[in-house]
Amino acid sequence: MTPQLLTVDRQLHSNSLKKVLLVEDNDINRMLLSDYLSYCGYNVKSLSNGTTFFSTAEKFQPDLMLLDLKLPVLDGYWILEQIQKHPNLSKIPVIVVSAFAFKADQERALNLGAKRYLVKPINLTVLIKTMQEELAYCCI
């Protein structure tokens, strides 16, 4: 094996223990992102809305959460606000992945506890790097 393949194999193996909770209402985006993250070695649980977010998060115990802001029923801002009220969940890094590109949206999400904010369409390489950085930082 070449050193590059060994590095990729090592990265995929190291991610295999990391659980990611993905909340995305767009079926195609959710499926593609979930498949890509699984391919990269993450254990992914995905939701199409926020109605079962808290019960799912408590059971699944993710290491990181990816959250869209525009969701049916419960929006991502409300979920971010509620996460801060749950001691177990508030320690888990949340990366917002949203089509809301205005600075005000980003500031609001970060003020509500999101660690990072990525605007759709996202660069998958940037997403994985951002996830790795957050997981490394939170798991020191």
- pTM of this prediction exceeds 0.85: yes
Q: How much is the pLDDT for 9?
A: 45
CA distance 116 to 94: 7
- Cβ contact 91:138 at 8 Å: yes
Q: What is the pLDDT of residues 85-98, one digit of tens each?
A: 999 999 999 999 99
The answer to whether residue 139 scores a pLDDT higher than 80 is: no
What is the domain partition of the chain in residue ranges? 3-134
Percent with pLDDT over 90 in the chain = 84
CA distance 23 to 5: 31
Q: How much is the pLDDT for 15?
A: 62
CA distance 68 to 49: 9
CATH code reported for the domain at 3-134:
3.40.50.2300
Q: Which of 66, 125, 68, 70 shows the shortest CA–CA distance to 92?
A: 66
